[in-house]
């Protein structure tokens, strides 16, 4: 199966930047000076490698916004390297530099407390030594199995129990 990185356009200090296509599974050859990153994602397992790629490519990242939306599943997608999606954020892990040193704030929009969301948050909280705030904006959408906002709020409460690397962390559930 063919895989690679597609062209991604983003803005740095008001100027657009382009990440070129190519087979670069671990990160860009030269890091990019991004301090604020918005990821529009479903946090589907097919997106894990791309999320790790962006975190690794942004070693000075200070604010990460995860805007959770519907999944666009590409059946022909193949991960650029073998991985177990259930252990991706916890086993044999090389932690990204930004997570341990510069990431101060994480905002999650559309939080439903699904397993993949909880795995990513566990990783960020467990290794986020510089984190000062985590803001969970709970989804108002009804789930496919009848889940309600109250259900999502209960899931958000679980995040309060996760191990946290930062002593200065404030968690808001909105």
Q: Where exactly are the structural domains of the chain?
A: 31-173
**Mean pLDDT, range 4-20, rounded to an integer:** 43
Percent of the chain exceeding pLDDT 90 equals: 52
Place of tokens 């589907």: 44
CATH 3.80.10 fits 31-173, yes or no: yes
User: pTM of the entire structure?
Assistant: 0.78
Which pLDDT does position 151 carry in this prediction?
94
Q: How high is the pLDDT of residue 92?
A: 57
pLDDT of residue 9: 42
Q: Cα–Cα distance between 106 and 122 in angstroms, integer?
A: 12
State mean pLDDT over 37-66: 89
Tokens for 105? 């704030």
Q: H-helix or E-strand containing 99?
A: helix 97-101
| 124 φ, ψ (degrees, to nearest 5) | -65, -40
If you count them, how many residues does the chain have?
174
φ, ψ for residue 99 (rounded to 5)? -65, -40
3-state secondary structure of 150: helix
Write the CA distances from 134 to 107, 153, 164, integer angstroms: 6, 15, 11
CB contact at 8 A, 81 and 123: no
Percent of the chain that is helix, strand, coil (3-state, to 5): 25, 25, 50
């Amino acid at each position: 199966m063919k895989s690679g990185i597609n062209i991604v356009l983003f803005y740095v200090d008001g100027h657009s930047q382009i990440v070129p296509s190519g087979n670069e599974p671990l990160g860009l050859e030269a890091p990019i000076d991004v301090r604020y990153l918005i990821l529009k994602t479903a946090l589907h397992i097919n997106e894990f490698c791309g999320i790790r790629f962006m975190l690794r490519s942004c070693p000075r990242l200070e604010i990460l916004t995860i805007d959770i939306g519907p999944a666009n599943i590409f059946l022909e997608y193949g991960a650029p390297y073998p991985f177990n999606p259930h252990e991706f954020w916890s086993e044999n892990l090389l932690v990204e530099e930004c997570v341990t040193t510069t990431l101060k704030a994480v905002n999650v929009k559309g939080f439903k407390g699904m397993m993949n969301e909880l795995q990513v948050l566990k990783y960020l909280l467990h290794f986020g030594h510089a984190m000062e705030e985590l803001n969970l904006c709970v989804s108002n959408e009804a789930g496919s199995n009848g889940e309600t906002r109250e259900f999502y709020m209960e899931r958000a409460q679980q995040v309060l129990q996760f191990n946290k690397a930062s002593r200065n962390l404030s968690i808001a559930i909105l």
